[in-house]
Chain A
Amino acid sequence: MKNVDIKILAVILFFVTILYLGVEPFAHSQMHKHIDDADFAYDAKGDNKVLLEQNHKQIDDFEEIKEINAKEIMKSKKRLQELEEFDSEEFRDFWIQKLENQKQDPKYKDQEKEIASIDKEIVKAKEMEVEELKNVKTFFMNNYKNMIDQENFLSKKIDQKITDAENESQQQMDDVEFFWNEAEYIASLEANISNGKKLVQMSCTGCHGISTEGILAPMDDATAKMSFGVVPPDLSTSGKIYDKKFLAALIKNPIIAMNLEHKFDNMNPHPMPPFFGAGGDISEEIADMVGYLKDISKDVTLSDKEVFINACARCHDVRYDGILGSKNDQYLAKYMGSIPPDLSMIIRAKSKQYLRNFIYNPQMALEGTAMPRVGLDKNSTEQVINYLESIGDSKKEERERVILKIVAFLVFIMILAYLWKKLLWRELKD
Chain B
Amino acid sequence: MAIDETKRKVLGWSLGISALAGTLGGLGLGVKKSFDPLPSVLEAGVVSVDLSALTLNKPTTIQFRGKPIFIIKKDNMNFVNEKRDVKIGDYFYSIMIGSCTHLGCIPAWKQEKFVCACHGGQFDSSGINTFGPPPKPLVIPAFKIQNSNIVLGEVGPEYTKLVNS
Contact = CB atoms under 8 A, between A and B. Distances in A.
Direct contact of A and B (CB under 8 A): yes
B119 A368 contact: yes
Interface in B116-144: 117-120, 132-133
A338 B120 contact: no
Contacts of A367: 119
Contacts of B132: 368
A369 B108 contact: no
B119 A338 contact: no
Interface in A331-371: 336-338, 366-370
Contacts of B118: 337-338, 368-370
Nearest to B115: A337
A28 interface: no
B62 interface: no
A225 B17 CA distance: 73
Interface string A246-289: 00000000000000001000000000000000000000000000
B117 A336 contact: yes
A366 B103 CA distance: 13
A262 B122 CA distance: 13
Interface string A310-348: 000000000000000000000000001110000000000
B56 interface: no
Q: Which 7 A-B pairs have the closest CB atoms?
A: A337-B117, A368-B119, A368-B120, A370-B117, A338-B117, A262-B120, A337-B108
Interface of B: 105-106, 108, 117-120, 132-133
12 contacts: A336-B117, A337-B108, A337-B117, A337-B118, A338-B106, A338-B118, A366-B119, A368-B119, A368-B120, A368-B132, A368-B133, A370-B118
A366 B118 CA distance: 9
Nearest to B105: A338
Interface in A213-265: 262
A367 B106 CA distance: 17
A262 B133 CA distance: 14
A369 B119 contact: yes
Nearest to A338: B117
A202 to B, nearest CB: 35
Nearest to B121: A368
Given A337-B118, A338-B106, A368-B132, 8 more contacts: A336-B117, A337-B117, A338-B105, A338-B118, A366-B119, A368-B119, A370-B117, A370-B118
Nearest to A367: B119
Contacts of A262: 120
A150 B147 CA distance: 52
Contacts of A366: 119
A337 B106 CA distance: 9
Contacts of B106: 338
Nearest to B120: A368
A2 B106 CA distance: 62
A358 to B, nearest CB: 15
Nearest to B117: A337
A262 B120 CA distance: 8
A145 B77 CA distance: 39
Name which of A337, A338, A366 has the most chain B CB atoms within 10 A of its CB: A337
A19 to B, nearest CB: 29
Nearest to B106: A338
A368 B117 CA distance: 8
A366 B105 CA distance: 14
Nearest to A262: B120
A244 B119 CA distance: 30
A312 B133 CA distance: 28
A340 to B, nearest CB: 11
A55 to B, nearest CB: 16
Contacts of A368: 118-120, 132-133
Contacts of B105: 338
A367 B132 CA distance: 11
Nearest to B132: A368
Contacts of A337: 108, 117-118
Contacts of A370: 117-118
A366 B119 CA distance: 8
A326 B132 CA distance: 28
A368 B134 CA distance: 13
Contacts of A369: 118-119
Interface string A366-388: 11111000000000000000000
